[in-house]
Amino acid sequence: MTETTDNYKRLAGEHAALSVQSGMVIGLGAGSTAIFATQFIAALLRGGERRNITGYATSKSVWQEAVRLGIPMLTEDMPTAIDLTIDGADEVDPQLNLIKGGGGALLREKIVAQASHREIIVIDESKMSSRIGTQHAVPIEVLQYGWQSQARFLATLGAEITVRRYADGSHFRTDQDNLILDCRFEPIRDPAALARQLSERAGIVEHGLFLGLADDVIIAGPTGIRHLRRAGTP
C-alpha cells in the first residue's frame, strides 16, 4: 500500500463515518479502508460529537480493534438490527455489484450486510472496474470436509483456483475454521447466474459476490470523493 493510496482509503472511510448518527448500531467492516471508518467513529465518540453508538464487528480482528478503541459492542448473537454498516470491497462495478472477501471475512460480512438497513462501501478508486472479476478473484469459503470436490466443481464453471494459504504454506482458516478458494473467473458476464450456481452447491459455505447489497459507494481518488448511490436510495 502506497502512502497516497493509504490517504485515499482514510479519506473514504472518514467521509462515510460522518453518516453515523448518535444512537445507531453500526456494522464495522473488516477491510483496510473500513478500519479508518472504525477509527474515526471511535474519535467521534471520544470527542462527544456522537453518543450512544454500538458496534457490531464483521470479524474477530475487527472486534478486538473496536474494543481497543473503546467502542461499545453488541454480542455475537446480534440481539438488535443494524442501522448502518461501513465496509470495504475488493472490486466494484457501476451497478454496485461487489467482490468481497480478500480478508477472509466474507461470510460474516454478508450476514451483517443483509441485516443492515443501509450498507455503505468505502474504496479507493483502484477498486472500480467496468465488470467485476476483471481485477480480482472471487473468494469462496468452503468446508474442509470434501473441499477438493468443491474445487473440481468450481473448475467446471471455468474458475482458475488458488487455495488460500498462510506464509508458512498451511491452509488459511476463516473465523469459522473453513478454507478459502480464490477463484478467478475473468470478467463475470452474469454475476447473478454465477451466484445462484455457487449458492446451490453443498459444501460451499458462502461466496464473495455481493449483489444488491450496497446502497452507497464512497470512492476516494486524486480528484477527491465520488459518491455512487443505488437507485431508490435516499
Q: What's the pLDDT tens digit per position in 45-75? A: 999 999 999 999 999 999 999 999 999 999 9
Q: What is the pTM for the complete model shown?
A: 0.95
Torsion of CA 18, 213, 96, 71, to 10 degrees: 30
**Residue 141 in contact with residue 150, Cβ under 8 Å?**
no
Return the C-alpha cell found at 84: 448502518
What does the pLDDT read at residue 133? 97
Q: Where are the alpha helices (DSSP H) in the chain?
A: 3-17, 34-46, 60-69, 106-114, 147-156, 191-199
Q: Is the pLDDT of residue 190 over 90?
A: yes
Spell out the domains of the chain, with CATH numbers in brackets.
3-128+211-229 (3.40.50.1360), 138-205 (3.30.70.260)
Q: Tell me: the pLDDT tens digits for 6-50?
A: 999 999 999 999 999 999 999 999 988 999 999 999 999 999 999
Active site residue 109: yes
What does the pLDDT read at residue 21? 98
Q: Tell me: the pLDDT tens digits for 208-233?
A: 999 999 999 999 999 999 999 997 77
Active-site residue, from 14, 65, 109, 119: 109
Q: Is the pLDDT of residue 1 over 80?
A: no
